[in-house]
Amino acid sequence: MELTSTLSRDLILQVSSKLGEPDWLRAKRLLAWETFARLPYPTPRTEEWKYTDITEVPFEELSLELPTGQPRAIPQAVQDRLAQAQLSGYAVFVGADLVHVELPEALREQGVILCSLHEAMARHPRLVEENLFRAVNWSDLVGTQQNRPENSKIPALNAALFTHGVFLYIPRNVEFSKPIGVFKYLEGGQLSASRTLIVGDVNSQAVYIEEYISPAKVAPSVNTSSTEIIVGDGAKVRHAHIQLLGQGFYHFHRQRAHLQRDAALNDLVVNMGASLSRAEVQSEMLGPGSSSEMLGLYFTTGLEHVDHYTLQHHVADHAYSDVLYKGAAKDQSRTVYAGLIKVEPGAQKTDAYQTNRNLLLSADARSDSVPQLEIGANDVKCSHGSSTAPVAPEELFYLMSRGLPRHMAQQILVKGHMTDVLTRIPIEPLRQYIESIIEEKVRV
Amino acid sequence: MVNQLEIRNLHARIVDGETILNGVNLIVPKGQIHAIMGPNGAGKSTLGKIIAGDPSYEITKGDILMDGESILEMEADERARKGLFLAFQYPVEVPGVSNANFLRLALQAKQGGEVNMMEFYGKLQKALKTLEWDESILTRYLNDGFSGGEKKRNEIMHMMVLEPTYAIMDETDSGLDIDALKVVAKGVNAMRGPNFGALLITHYQRLLNYIVPDAVHVMIDGRIVTSGGPELALRLEEQGYDWVKELAATAS
């Protein structure tokens, strides 16, 4: 079926029918579409978008990326990653097509599910219907008091139009520590919309890495991704979102984790690509004793712009959260960080920390950092801090005086700046990969 | 080829700021160790940093020549690869890179190619033995959390592994207890030879008991006002700097 490419209610109905979706999902897509159609785009006058101007992003000028249904080879860039990443299972998307998925027999036998969202809808309808849009939907608010409805514009677009996604389910008491990797290879030139749904049942443990890869330079492209992570009672999920898209990409990511009683999330967001990217990373401590470690790394060069928003939302008591976001900016690039620790009145004995540190490698680079606290309970430990500083000339001089060329000295200082995040990534191949990206970016 | 490090009528200031050096003339021949002494603020440390290529200073007049070649236009890393070394007064802490890995990178940069690991390991072992140190210092991050004494000793280890032609040691002795001082001196003395020249910047005569210099220079107000043999250091220790200051005043 030929689909119209312009965004419309009709297009959504066509997409939903082409993907063979159940009625409930079509109804939700239409609700999301109504929200999208009603809301304006965020502008720099929207408090949460003060430092990120998206007026030039061609959301509605691009055609929607749809599954082709054609067999596709695994791109070389993904093959290279597969060779290095030491994964247990993996899935590869090229555009909206799932081209390969592999899960070890041992995990399948224990009931672990790794498949496309649409396959999951057909085979595990109840699991999907219960959980899809549970943590990230088309009207949820970012969490700040100033929150404006236009913050829902892009998530509504994603919910209305997503064409593909990943579903990972880890049954009760099942544990694995070797990562599952999902690679999304985007060819560019289109509007791409995808979702990820991870459900860790009671007392389960899982490690999941999602990577976005594309050619180094593409025609203007938009990628929107929504990730929902449900961490059940006593469950542990380690999650990483690694974005290494090429120049030309506008990348918008929203993720939210729901943490139940004694649940633990170790989250890592790495944004080292795309012309402009924004990631909204949120943890909801819904159960007492839950804990959320939220790490972030970013490094911008050239004219790149990266924007992060984190939310540590403490709803239940005795929960812990720790945000550590570290970034560096070179050339005329720009980084933005805003984060909020929000403690609800019932969330006594909350332990919450938030740190953002930025390193500037040139006089024209810029970082903005806005840490915020909103505390409604009286028996809590919370702290936040942020700093932005240029590379200290005496540090550069020291390293160069031992014979290292400037770019190598800068590499060492950037890695040094990020060391306390890097050392908290226990997945050795992933850490090495991130270090190699940093080295490459300093050199160019 | 002239085998010497020559500072020729060097005038320098902080970039857009205060003038620090007012015409320094100094020659350190290869194979010799010279000491520069002087009161606080005389410009000794600045001279060391300027020789090594610190971009926070600008040269307004004069030249620095290494074996007859001017190095003024070279950046710090190029000077180092040519064989210059500055042992810092305050070495910088750099987490994320291990001491040994950093040294390997520095040696690689100097040699312009891969380092033979056996050879490199041999150099490390030799330096550690001379400095009475164990291997644990190699795997720690560069200067990160090192004590003051460990940092100074580590600078000497870097020098021993990188084997510069000319080394400047900027107050390497300050803050060291006597045992540490002896160990550091052992390292410097081990470098002594026909292919190594050094300039020791120091406040105190104490170091010179263990590293006997071929010449001592006294710096006041950004210039060398008098030079002599090791006995000059002893006189300064006994009589202080007042007599040299008078000397400087009558000279200008």
pLDDT in tens, B58-106: 999 999 999 999 999 999 999 999 999 999 999 999 998 999 999 999 9
The one-letter amino acid at A260: Q
Say yes or no to pLDDT of B115 above 50. Answer: yes
Contacts of A11 (CB under 8 A, 6+ apart): A3, A4, A5, A64, A161
Q: Mean pLDDT for chain A?
A: 94
Find which of A396, A397, A406, A423 to mutate to test the B interface (most B CBs within 10 Å of its CB): A397
Residue A2, pLDDT > 90, answer: no
pLDDT tens, residue by residue, A247-282: 999 999 999 999 999 999 999 999 999 999 999 999
Label residue A442 by pLDDT band (50, 70, 90).
Answer: confident
Per-residue pLDDT averaged across A42-50, rounded? 91
* Kind and range of the H or E run holding B124: helix B117-130
Q: So what's the pLDDT on residue A148?
A: 81
In this prediction, residues A402-416 reach a mean pLDDT of 94
pLDDT in tens, B138-177: 999 999 999 999 999 999 999 999 999 999 999 999 889 9
Kindly state the average pLDDT of the residues A182-200: 97
Q: Kindly indicate whether the ipTM for this predicted assembly is greater than 0.90, answering yes or no.
A: yes
Quote the pLDDT of residue A147. 66
Q: Kindly list the domain boundaries of chain B, sorted by start residue.
A: 4-251
How many residue pairs bridge chain A and chain B with CB atoms within 8 Å of each other?
A: 82
CB contact under 8 A, B96 and A418: yes
Please, which pLDDT band fits residue A4 given cuts at 50, 70 and 90? low
Chain B: nearest CA to A394, how far in angstroms?
8
pLDDT in tens, A201-214: 999 999 999 999 99
- What number is the average pLDDT over the span A16-36? 96
- Subunit contact A401:B81, Cβ cutoff 8 A: no
**Cβ of A412 and B54 within 8 Å?**
no
More confident residue, B136 or B245: B136
- Please list every residue in chain A whose beta carbon sits closer than 8 Å to the beta carbon of residue B56: 393-394, 397
pLDDT at residue A5 in the model: 60
Residue B111, min C-alpha distance to chain A (Å): 10
According to the model, what pLDDT value does residue B17 have? 93
A145 contacts chain B (CB < 8 A) = no
- pLDDT tens for B21-58 read 999 999 999 999 999 999 989 999 999 999 999 999 99
Look at residue A71 in the predicted model and tell me its pLDDT: 87
Question: Residue A1: its pLDDT value, please?
Answer: 44
The answer to whether the CB atoms of A404 and B56 lie below 8 A apart is no
**Tens digit of each residue's pLDDT (9 = 90 or more) over A288-308:** 999 999 999 999 999 999 999
Q: Coil, helix or strand for B7? A: strand
Task: Encode pLDDT of A130-163 as tens digits.
Answer: 999 999 988 766 555 456 889 999 999 999 999 9
Q: How confident is the model at residue A329 (pLDDT cuts 50, 70, 90)?
A: very high
Residues from chain B that touch A424, judged by Cβ atoms under 8 A, are none
Contact (CB<8Å) B80/A400: yes
- Region B4-251: CATH code: 3.40.50.300
Query: Residue B124: pLDDT above 60?
Result: yes
Chain B nearest-CA residue for A408: B105
In this predicted structure, what is the pLDDT of residue B203?
A: 85
* Closest chain A residue to the Cα of B103, Cα to Cα: A402
Q: Does A341 touch chain B (CB under 8 A)?
A: no
Residue A398 with chain B: CB contacts under 8 Å? 88, 91-92, 94
